[in-house]
Amino acid sequence: MKEILNEVMERIVPSAEEENRLNKVVKELEGKIKKYVPKDAEIMLVGSVAKGTWLKNSLDIDFFILFPLRWNKREMEKVVLDTGKKVLDKIWIQYAEHPYVRGYYKNYRVDIVPSYKIKSITEMKSSVDRTPFHTEFIRKNMDDKLKNDARLLKQFMKGIGCYGAEAKVEGFSGYLVELLIIKYGGFLNVLKAAIKWGKKVYLTINGDGKKFSDRFVFIDPVDLSRNVAAALSEEKLELFISAARDFLNEPSIKFFFPPPPPKIDDDILEKKLGNFIGICFKKPDIVDDVLYPQLKKAASNISSLFFSHDFKVVRKAFHADGSAFIAVELESKNIEDKKLHMGPPLKSKKHVESFIKRWENDEHAIGKPFEKDGRMWIWVRREYTDARKLLKDKIKDVRLGKHIDKIKSEIKICEKGLKRYKKYWYEFFCPLPPWKR
């Protein structure tokens, strides 16, 4: 285990040269940003670079511009957007609770975010106002050893596929990783604790906070009313616990740097996708944290459409890069043209009469209601027996999400076209977790 961890450290801890290069760029950037920021605003480096927990070859730099409370949000946003345009290359506007700028500077990806300069969390006007407090808390509570342990845990989670609180991943945020290291005192200690986590986990560092119904709760030490792990899904939590147990039993470099999933021959992939059907469309110009909740909801609503017409749904899939798709796997794309519909028990005479009256002239009824096993029944003709036709006819009525609904006219029914998302499907169909490939 020691040899493995040492090898990982060599691959993820930035060299002195890399640190110097980054610090030089940070200093340059700060000087350039300062020229365009009002004198009563403060520039603050935040995130993993500021905390000293960034991974080697991670080229992300986050700056916050802290404005006095008297500034309104539109004024703050204008300053930040104008600054980004003058300082960064290839910029684009990102949206969280309010707009911020993302761009590049000497191959580093840079975010410039407006925030309020507050003395206490009680003055907070948006969630980003907490971030400077997070940065300061980690800096004050981590020595160099713990920082490197945080790097180990981040890489471990990246390797197994549960690092990142964004909607696409629903895993552990960088801040949550750092808090776990502080809480348990090191990388291996976190893994040993994780395999003992039960059905309900409630963690704190500096006292109890608000009560939450989530299975996994880590109270934010700078805001006791917040669960840092709110974005963590049950699936990713279980994945981490399973990986922790396996690593402690049989350590391997694969947990940190897993091989890719095996490729699938085109003809085999086509067979595996045989009962999948869905929609394909151009990815809306929005960030993944806005898009993925809509993809997830749309997949659920499309599944409900199939279920309501008697198609059995096996599982769902959705993905976005330059384009996007939402697909549902069905037990079969074609079903029988009739079904047996159950009516009331014979002893409920009033309901029996209503049932007979309801179906005697219905266009979907096949024959007349009949008695069997102590209740009424009727054969009913299904409206749809072909899943393709159902989706084609009804997709216009399905709620797909605010931004996807806007491009409904461009949406195409997708079956064979799903095969082109090969990398996604290789991962989707791989039966083994990353570290066992």
Tokens 């964004």 found at: 166
d(CA 431, CA 437): 9
DSSP letter at 37 equals S
d(CA 359, CA 380): 9
219 within 8 A of 228, measured Cβ to Cβ: yes
What is the DSSP pairing of strand 60-67 with strand 108-116?
parallel
What is the DSSP pairing of strand 99-105 with strand 108-116?
antiparallel
What fold is seen in the domain 142-255?
A: Poly(a)-polymerase, middle domain (1.10.1410)
Backbone angles phi, psi at 428, to 5 degrees: -60, -45
Taken in order 181, 185, 190, 195, is the CA torsion positive or negative?
A: negative
151 within 8 A of 57, measured Cβ to Cβ: no
Count CB-CB contacts under 10 A for residue 172. 26
d(CA 104, CA 131): 22
Q: What is the pLDDT of residues 70-104, one digit of tens each?
A: 999 899 999 999 999 999 998 888 776 678 899 99
Tokens of 389: 């036709």
List the pLDDT tens digit at each of the 437 positions of the chain. 999 999 999 999 999 999 999 999 999 999 999 999 999 999 999 999 999 999 998 889 999 999 999 999 899 999 999 999 999 998 888 776 678 899 999 999 999 999 999 999 999 988 899 999 999 999 999 999 999 999 999 999 999 999 999 999 999 999 999 999 999 999 999 999 999 999 999 999 987 888 899 999 999 999 999 999 999 999 999 999 999 999 999 999 999 999 999 999 999 999 999 999 999 999 998 888 889 999 999 999 999 999 999 999 999 999 998 899 999 999 999 999 999 999 999 999 999 999 999 998 898 999 999 999 999 999 999 999 999 999 999 999 999 999 999 999 999 999 988 999 999 999 999 999 999 99
What fold is seen in the domain 266-334+385-436?
A: Alpha-Beta Plaits (3.30.70)
Taken in order 148, 154, 156, 159, is the CA torsion positive or negative?
A: negative
Q: What is the pLDDT of residues 116-175, one digit of tens each?
A: 999 999 999 888 999 999 999 999 999 999 999 999 999 999 999 999 999 999 999 999
13-127 and 266-334+385-436 share one fold:
no
Burial class from Cβ neighbours inside 10 Å (0-12, 13-18, 19+) for residue 37 reads buried
What fold is seen in the domain 338-381?
A: Alpha-Beta Plaits (3.30.70)
**CA trace torsion 55, 60, 61, 67 (10° rounding):** -120
Total residue count of the chain as it appears in this document = 437
User: b/e string for 178-196 if b means 16 or more Cβ within 10 A?
Assistant: bbbbbbbebbbebbebbee
- List residues bridging with 340 in a β-sheet: 379
In sequence order, the 6+-apart residues with CB closer than 8 A to the CB of 349 are none
Please spell the DSSP secondary structure of 322-351, one letter per residue.
SEEEEEEEES-SB--SEEEEEEEETT-HHH
Q: In terms of pTM, does the model score above 0.85? A: yes
Domains of the chain, residue spans: 13-127, 142-255, 266-334+385-436, 338-381
- Domain 13-127 indexed as CATH 3.30.460.10: yes
d(CA 386, CA 391): 9
In sequence order, the 6+-apart residues with CB closer than 8 A to the CB of 157 are 163, 171, 172, 177, 240
pLDDT of residue 287: 82
